Structures are given as structure tokens and as C-alpha cells.
Amino acid sequence: MQLNDIKRTLRVDRHDQDFSITINWHDTDLPACILWVLNGGRRNPPFNGAFRALGVEIVSAAFGLASSISASQGKPFAGRGLLTAIALKPDSPWSTHYRFLVEPLT
């Protein structure tokens, strides 16, 4: 699932383990968040079909659509002004900043 126009911060609370993870990033560089679930899918060791996860990816993308759509800044997000790609060039460095904060739940 892709969440668009997320503003700089996402927090995930793990009540079963009494901690939270907060992610902060530059939302002008990476304006969307992809959430995905792994429900035991990897059958080979060491996971043996028992690994469960919630993946959180901060992106500039049109998730689930062809990479050509993301790279073209095209449909369907262009009308909303959502950045779906970053043009990288060998002679022009690009960087961004992000932070992960893990805290006990209070």
C-alpha cells in the first residue's frame, strides 16, 4: 500500500514488545511511504516460512506501476504534484537525510 503526501514523520508502535519506532525524513525528497507485509513467504532456511514482517519504505515512486510511469513523472500522480522519481546523474551527487528513533512505549 502506498501512502502519499506523508509529512516528515511516521511512527510505528509495537505494543507486543513495548517500543516504538519513529522515522523522520525530508518529505520533499521522498514524499511517499510504502507499507508491505511479509506473511511467512520465505520457505528456505533460516526463515522456514515462519518470518512475519511489516515493511516500511520511504520512497519517491509510483508503487505498483511500471518503472517507466514513475520515471516519467507521469500518470496518475503528476496532476497532484507528487514526485515519483529522482533524476540521478554521475556528475551531480544527490543526498537526503533521515533518522530512526527507537523508544520504549510509555
pLDDT in tens, 30-60: 988 999 998 988 889 988 999 888 888 998 8
pTM above 0.85, yes or no: no
Helices (H) and strands (E) in the chain, counts: 1, 6
| Cell numbers given for 2 | 502506498
CB 6 within 8 Å of CB 56: no
- For residue 92, is pLDDT > 90? yes
